[in-house]
Chain A
């Protein structure tokens, strides 16, 4: 029997509720702690964390050097570490190289710096295609990278997570880290987009 559906099974809501209820009765979970967790990842941990890492790297050459050598430690300096961010590698965009990240298998994503991944990142089209046709994927995002620039795609493994360090936009000399962070988009840290430019936010 095969059927086409994009909606989950009708009783999924009930089954999740049953699971939660049963686990609570057995003392294996605490619903209040669950609420806290949801709040943390829905409202408090997000791409703003990664944006601050990028802004600091743009402002401070020593920090940038540390970030490129030992990303996990450098990111932890800003207080971002923990679940799904245990092993980080930062890849730098330059005039010669544009980087993109993916996890083709599951997908993995650096939660402490970027929060929870967007639906497209987790889905079959992106996971299947970015490793064989990254420029096609970029054009779906409306992002164009010059032909002469190499596009490198990094596939996360079970433990390793990648973060793209985008190029600093022109016209931002003297900007504070907070101002710079405002330019850094989630997609620029995944590699499907570029940061905003000053004109975008003025």
Chain B
């Protein structure tokens, strides 16, 4: 897909500024998101190409602003719903439930 993810050779993204050290996961939710990938993928709900394509299909602005694990979250949530493993309604209900508990 000829989307904005095809970054090679494009200009204007600023300095790389690599830090000397950084943690593997910046937030705990990133850890959980990383971990969710393996069973979601291993459970046969989607393959790696579909996963990448789900990221490539993201809204371009959302893609460019979003971090790596945000991309993963978008892809996995999208694919699980598209494949019928979960429904949007169930997920929204769960989010409301957890919000209510906070």
Given contacts A14-B95, A42-B24, A125-B14, contact A104 B8 (CB under 8 A): yes
Chain A 69-106: CB-based contact to B (< 8 A → 1; otherwise 0): 00000000000000100000000000000000010111
Stretch from A51-59, A112-120, A160-168, A176-184 forming part of the interface with B: A112-120
Contact B13 A23 (CB under 8 A): no
Kindly provide the distance from the CB of B32 to the nearest chain A CB, expressed in whole angstroms. 5
A41–B34 Cα distance when bound, in Å, is 9
Contact A38 B39 (CB under 8 A): no
- By a CB distance below 8 angstroms, the chain A residues around B24 are 41-42, 115-116
Q: How many residues of A contact B (CB 8 A)?
A: 55
Chain A 117-140: CB-based contact to B (< 8 A → 1; otherwise 0): 011101111111101100001001
Chain B 65-89: CB-based contact to A (< 8 A → 1; otherwise 0): 1111010010011001000011000
Partner of B94, one of A18, A104, A122: A18
Contact A140 B15 (CB under 8 A): yes
Partner of A23, one of B5, B31, B40, B48: B40
Kindly provide the distance from the CB of B34 to the nearest chain A CB, expressed in whole angstroms. 7
A105–B63 Cα distance when bound, in Å, is 12
Given contacts A12-B73, A16-B32, A21-B94, contact A125 B27 (CB under 8 A): no
Contact B18 A104 (CB under 8 A): no
Contact A30 B39 (CB under 8 A): yes
Kindly provide the distance from the CB of B62 to the nearest chain A CB, expressed in whole angstroms. 10
Contact B29 A42 (CB under 8 A): no
Contact B33 A131 (CB under 8 A): no
Given contacts A18-B95, A125-B13, contact A29 B48 (CB under 8 A): no
Contact B16 A12 (CB under 8 A): no
A127–B10 Cα distance when bound, in Å, is 9
Contact A2 B40 (CB under 8 A): no
Contact B29 A128 (CB under 8 A): no
Partner of B6, one of A38, A42, A105: A105
Contact B13 A12 (CB under 8 A): no
Considering the complex, give the chain B residue whose CB is closest to the CB of A159: B48
Q: Does A22 contact B (CB under 8 A)?
A: yes
- By a CB distance below 8 angstroms, the chain A residues around B55 are 106
Considering the complex, give the chain A residue whose CB is closest to the CB of B66: A8
A20–B38 Cα distance when bound, in Å, is 12
Q: Does A19 contact B (CB under 8 A)?
A: yes
Chain A interfacial positions (CB closer than 8 Å to B): 2, 5-6, 8-9, 11-23, 26, 28-30, 33-35, 37-38, 41-42, 83, 102, 104-106, 115-116, 118-120, 122-129, 131-132, 137, 140-141, 155, 158, 192
